[in-house]
């Protein structure tokens, strides 16, 4: 594969996450937290000339930070899938990235770890609003449990590339 000096349309599609976003979330009860509502603030910025996008995520509950993450999105031309590397305040090192594809305005990514499988879905309603849902299936189980879901809106509406 030849060196590519400019991002492809697949890379540029990740710009849909650029900018500052705010949202309301519903958090399911789990071994890590109690059920309830949360607020989230996210900021996305293209990296390395547009080949990757970094998203900084901060969730607050009852006025205090309850969860933080750094997400790095990319497109892997070798298998034609999108990748998501997530590092978060739960402290688990990701053994591998989540991997998936866009289907219309929805990006679904799956990952597996010794703890189980995680499915993350981002559904864009328009350029300035998207929904996210995370569900988890414990190791050895076929049952999916909701972890968190939310709806996010740009703090300052701006144009992005969803095509």
133 by Cβ neighbours in 10 Å (0-12 / 13-18 / 19+) ranks as middle
Instruction: Give the pLDDT score at 2.
Output: 57
The residues, ordered by sequence, that sit 6+ positions from 48 with a Cβ below 8 Å of its Cβ are none
Q: Is the pLDDT of residue 135 over 70?
A: yes
pLDDT digits (tens, 9 = 90+) for 40-68: 999 999 999 999 999 999 999 999 999 99
Instruction: Give the pLDDT score at 3.
Output: 62
Distance CA 133, CA 34 (A): 17
CATH number of the domain located at residue range(s) 9-154 in this protein:
2.40.128.20
pLDDT digits (tens, 9 = 90+) for 69-127: 999 999 999 999 999 999 999 887 777 899 999 999 999 999 998 889 999 999 999 99
Radius of gyration (C-alpha) of the chain in whole angstroms: 16
Instruction: Give the pLDDT score at 1.
Output: 54
Q: Is the pLDDT of residue 139 over 70?
A: yes
The residues, ordered by sequence, that sit 6+ positions from 111 with a Cβ below 8 Å of its Cβ are 84, 94, 96, 97, 98, 99, 117, 118
Q: Please name which of 69, 67, 66, 45 lies closest in space to residue 57, comparing C-alpha atoms.
A: 69
Question: What are the boundaries of each domain within the chain?
Answer: 9-154
Threshold 0.85, pTM exceeds:
yes
* Token pair recorded at residue 61: 């509950």
Instruction: Give the pLDDT score at 32.
Output: 74
Distance CA 63, CA 128 (A): 25
Helix (H, G, I), strand (E, B) or coil at 129: strand
Mean pLDDT of 144-150: 94
């Amino acid at each position: 594969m030849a060196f590519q000096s400019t991002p492809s349309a697949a890379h540029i599609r990740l710009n849909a996450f650029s900018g500052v976003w705010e949202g309301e979330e519903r958090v399911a009860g789990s071994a890590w937290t109690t059920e309830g509502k949360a607020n989230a603030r996210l900021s996305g910025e293209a990296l390395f000339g547009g080949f990757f996008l970094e998203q900084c995520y901060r969730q607050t509950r009852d006025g205090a930070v309850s969860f933080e993450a750094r997400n790095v999105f990319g497109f892997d031309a070798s298998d034609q899938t999108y990748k998501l590397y997530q590092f978060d305040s739960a402290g688990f090192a990701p053994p591998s990235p989540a991997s998936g594809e866009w289907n219309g305005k929805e990006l679904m990514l799956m990952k597996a770890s010794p703890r189980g499988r995680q499915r993350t879905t981002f559904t864009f309603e328009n350029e300035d609003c998207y929904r996210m849902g995370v569900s988890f299936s414990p190791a050895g189980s076929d049952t999916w449990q909701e972890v968190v879901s939310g709806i996010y809106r740009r703090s300052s509406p701006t144009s992005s590339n969803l095509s």
